[in-house]
Chain A
Amino acid sequence: MNPVLPFEWIVAWRFLREGRLQTLFIVTGIAIGVGVIVFMSALLAGLQANFVRRVLTAQPHIQLLPAKEVARPLGPPPGLARDAVEDALVQAPLQRTRSIDQWQGVAQQIRALGEVRVVSPEADGSALAVRGDASRAISIAGVDPAFYFHIVDVPSKIVAGQARLGPRDAIVGTELASDLGATVGDKLRLSAASGADLTLTVAGIVDLGSKGANQRTVYLSLHTAQSLLGLVGGVSSIGVTVGDVYAAEAVARRITAATGVEADSWITTNAQFFSAVSAQTTANTTIRVFVALSVAFGIASVLVVSVVQKSREIGILRAMGISRGQVLRVFLIEGGLLGLAGSVVGAAIALVALALWRRIAVNPDGSPLFPITMPPLLLLLALGVATVVGLLSALAPALRAARLDPVVAIRG
């Protein structure tokens, strides 16, 4: 007997060891349940983290946009009733590239918010890139590298040249560079719809990880873009990053409330993804609850059988002076140990499944489809929850054992 272990632990352990086959079966059952839960949770978390990472490495958490132009019906001419309107149909106005009103003040206001990390003013618009006979429609992103490169890490995505944005520099997407036959140092002419025209030098070529973005993105310095788009001194949007990405929506609402400028969080702009995640999470939670219930009933049934089988031994123990509390604890410990053992094996199963998944789910180039990690916290949580489930499910059989009348139990 281990001198460190108390009476209840020794008896619980020996009882479990005595019913080897029963113990093995229930531990296997618990392990499969826990393994499935842990693996599914890791997979789901990996999927979400991967999407969030992809989304947030290419866009700010919150984007402030100028208010849309709206057409207001004309008021009634003098002398006419208030509800007399010349025309019931109001034509939708054209949305011009406009600046955010008082954007310097707005940016300063946002920077003062505690959760905000980076505030990056941008002048965005569309133009035509021309080189020789080739021309492509492009999206201009006029940015201040000192801020914007903290939102999108452009320097790390540069495949040729450097992430330099001087007054006459442009950083272009790989596909666009290829379409225009441009390399680093080549000249590129950009024509805006307003008629403005600029000839710039390709300072760097960037791979943004998406073919569409690589086909049309051109980064310019903020001032260059402002001149080209006719937004002198103005910005068409302000990008914001926050400390907690999942708090972006709440921060966006606060910004709108404080500044009156429309602010869209990445959560709103990716609502479809979040509704899918929510559905997945609900399904996963439902599965978890039912697996936990089946594990609980499994443990309880094994322990109920064990109490019936051992009722005479329990009676004798009680006759020897073992208290009801000690008997209760023996069976609670049995339940807890079953839960713990099952979850340890289950966690191992999940880790093996994860290793297999990493081997099977790969891109054609051999890189993983998306990175999945098994956070230690998830494993600890699974161990803790399974042990608690074991303890709770052992409660009924343990109470039954503790309440056994020794006279009846001994008589059998």
Chain B
Amino acid sequence: MAEPVVELERVTKRFNVGQPNETEVLHGIDLRLSRGEFCAVMGPSGSGKSTLLNLVGLLDRPTSGTLRIAGVDTGALDEAGLTRLRGHEIGFVFQYHHLLPAFSACENVMMPMLGARGFPDADMRRKAEQLLERVGLSPWRDVPPTSLSGGQQQRIAVARALVMQPPLLLADEPTGNLDSASADKVFKLLREVNREQGMAILFVTHNAELAARCDRIVQVVDGRVAAGVVPAQGRDSCIALR
């Protein structure tokens, strides 16, 4: 069995703890994601998908339960430790790419490495250029991201998430704002990276067609993982899922 990258055991998340409007958003989630797994997360709006992703992405802490990332129990880490773990083990792609307009496409891709190493160097640039070539944006490496299309900008965001070669990539509706052709390109790119590098991917989406192309689908309903994880249907069974 492949080594686990994400392990959640009875994880709960409550907001406004101790106040009259205290709300439990996640109720005892158990989830395990192994290296090389491409897992779709689906569910209606407000079901807790984003909260789950924020917890796994170490942007927020669970109220109770255990969360391990790459074997590290995150409950024992302080703010700085979480930031370090996040920087080295997790890549993010969001619905809105949020690229830095003050930097070129290549510099945006370099940014996580620059933050981690402190000073720019030639190796950083080479890696960023390789990734841009990989996502098909090599000719635009020196232009500001604002001059590119939405699909192109999202591919730069993917390259940025990959530059640290993290074992885990979290994608929060990365195709939500893209036309179907661009969405397909971005998904294929994530799939390739997942297969070539054995990167675990948690892919939040409302797109059932894309979800069906993942290894498995996790349904989140009312803050719980719906009973039983939907097994991977594979590319050929997409139609059946629809």
Interface set of A (CB-CB < 8 Å, partner B): 1-7, 10, 14-15, 17-18, 312-313, 315-324, 326, 406-407, 410
Contact = CB atoms under 8 A, between A and B. Distances in A.
B107 A320 contact: no
A322 B57 contact: no
Task: Identify which of B80, B92, B121 gathers the most chain A CB atoms within 10 Å of its CB.
Answer: B92
A102 B59 CA distance: 88
Contacts of B114: 1, 7, 10
Interface in B57-116: 57, 59-60, 79-80, 83-84, 86-88, 92, 94, 96, 98, 100-103, 107, 110-112, 114-116
B51 to A, nearest CB: 9
Given A10-B114, A15-B102, A313-B98, 4 more contacts: A316-B98, A321-B87, A321-B88, A321-B116
B127 to A, nearest CB: 14
Contact of A319 (B92, B107, B110, B119): B92
Nearest to A321: B87
B119 A7 contact: yes
A401 B116 CA distance: 19
Given A10-B120, A406-B59, A321 B115 contact: yes
A17 B164 CA distance: 27
Contact of A312 (B86, B88, B96, B117): B96
Contact of B102 (A18, A320, A324, A407): A18
A240 to B, nearest CB: 62
Contacts of B57: 319
User: What are the 7 tightest A-B residue pairs by CB atom distance, in nearest-first order?
Assistant: A321-B87, A14-B102, A18-B102, A1-B120, A316-B98, A320-B112, A322-B115
B139 interface: no
Interface string B31-63: 000000000000000000000001001011000
Contacts of A4: 119
B121 A3 contact: yes
B155 interface: no
B59 A323 contact: no
Residue among A15, A317, A319, A406 facing the most chain B CB atoms (10 A cut-off): A319
B87 A320 contact: yes
A410 B96 CA distance: 9
B228 interface: no
B118 interface: yes
B179 to A, nearest CB: 23
A313 B87 contact: no
B25 to A, nearest CB: 12
B213 interface: no
Contacts of A317: 100, 111, 115
A326 B115 contact: yes
A91 B110 CA distance: 96
Given A15-B102, A17-B102, A319-B59, A7 B94 contact: no
B103 A14 contact: yes
Contacts of A2: 120
Given A3-B119, A17-B102, A318 B83 contact: yes
A271 B57 CA distance: 73
Contacts of A319: 57, 59, 86, 92
B100 A313 contact: yes
Given A18-B101, A312-B96, A320 B111 contact: yes
Given A315-B98, A319-B92, A6 B59 contact: no
Interface of B: 54, 57, 59-60, 79-80, 83-84, 86-88, 92, 94, 96, 98, 100-103, 107, 110-112, 114-121, 160, 164
A320 B92 contact: yes
B99 to A, nearest CB: 8
11 contacts: A1-B120, A2-B120, A3-B120, A312-B96, A313-B100, A316-B100, A319-B86, A324-B79, A326-B115, A410-B59, A410-B94
Nearest to A406: B59
A4 B94 CA distance: 32
A8 to B, nearest CB: 9
B98 A407 contact: no
Nearest to B120: A1
Taking each of B57, B116, B120, which has the highest tally of chain A beta carbons within 10 Å of its own beta carbon? B120
Contacts of B118: 6-7
A308 B112 CA distance: 22
Contacts of A3: 119-121
B232 to A, nearest CB: 28
Contacts of B59: 318-319, 406-407, 410
Contacts of B115: 7, 317, 320-322, 326
Contacts of A324: 79, 83
Contacts of B121: 3
Interface centre among A14, A312, A316 (most CB of B within 10 A): A316
Contact of B119 (A6, A322, A410): A6
Contacts of B94: 316, 410
B87 A1 contact: no
Nearest to B166: A321
Contacts of B79: 324
A7 B101 CA distance: 16
Contacts of A406: 59
Contacts of B119: 3-7
A124 B164 CA distance: 90
B96 to A, nearest CB: 7
A313 B99 CA distance: 7
B165 to A, nearest CB: 13
Given A6-B119, A407-B60, A323 B80 contact: yes
B60, B86, B88 interface centre (most CB from chain A within 10 Å): B86
Contacts of A18: 101-102
Given A316-B94, A316-B98, A407-B59, A322 B120 contact: no
B83 A321 contact: yes
A302 to B, nearest CB: 16
